[in-house]
Amino acid sequence: MATLDRREHVEMFPGTVVLEPGPGIRVGMMACGALGACDLTTCLVSIAPGAQLPYHTHPTGEAIVVLEGRAWADVENRRYVLEPYDALYVPRGVVHGLRNSQQDTTLWLGTAFPTGEVTREFVAAPAQLLAKDFPGPTDPEALVRWPEARAYSLAERMRSWDLFGRRWGAEDVCGGIGEFAPGAALPCHVHPFDESITILRGVATCWVSGRRYVLRERSTILIPQQLPHRFANEGSDTMVMLWVYAGGEPMRTIVDESRCSG
């Protein structure tokens, strides 16, 4: 799909495309083919206390990041306890399920798929579960624990952490966390693939080809490939985002600032 045929798109949870795959579970499709995305779907998922997303498989891989709360994530017969910003990647065809392990707190997840249209097949639960902290050498899934993630900087007063991508076995999708202190900003840039940005905390200002947006918590902006854009924190509180690319590793090209400001 050509860039000239598409523009950026903003959704606020739960959005215009909402799924309820089980009791107490709400999936807001924040970016997907129906909303103009190419080779990318990102979702915000709320799971009520004690609720469980049934076991299922996908024909593509799925990346799962815990945003708030604590999750039991089951992959085949292995159970992982996931804390905020832990990231689990489940390859295509691998059985998995999720449960909110807490009885008084809603579980919030961010999920990402390397396709514009997500399908799933529900399957039977495993006969028994084995608690694990990390996958073994023959286990197909990958897990990045937030305390072990490494920070790097793309601009002054801004930090980023990669949580899933090709280096961890992910298929044509990568993502992580970005943190902007007050006054921090990224320069105008473009990507060779679509990008989804979800604001987790604070307020972000985004410019896309001369158009300005103010994005708040649980809102997502989809930016098609090669559209010039930049983000800034013009507020007084720290801003945190979940960024996802429809590519295996982060890639960006800095361009003239006028292409963002218009």
Euclidean distance between the first and the last CA atom of the chain, given in angstroms as a whole number: 24
On the question of pLDDT at 161 being above 90, the answer is: yes
pLDDT by residue (tens digit) across 35-80? 999 999 999 999 999 999 999 999 999 999 999 999 999 999 999 9
On the question of pLDDT at 2 being above 50, the answer is: no
Same fold, 3-146 and 149-261: yes
Q: What would the mean pLDDT of 88-99 be, rounded to a whole number?
A: 97
Report domain extents, the chain.
3-146, 149-261
On the question of pLDDT at 3 being above 60, the answer is: no
The pLDDT value given to residue 5: 76
Q: Which CATH class is domain 149-261?
A: mainly beta
Contacts (Cβ under 8 Å, ≥6 apart) of 2 = none
Contact (Cβ atoms closer than 8 angstroms) between residue 227 and residue 260: no
Closest Cα partner for 61 from 93, 98, 109? 93
Q: What would the mean pLDDT of 162-183 be, rounded to a whole number?
A: 97
On the question of pLDDT at 196 being above 60, the answer is: yes
For the domain 3-146, what is the CATH code? 2.60.120.10
Q: What would the mean pLDDT of 182-201 be, rounded to a whole number?
A: 98
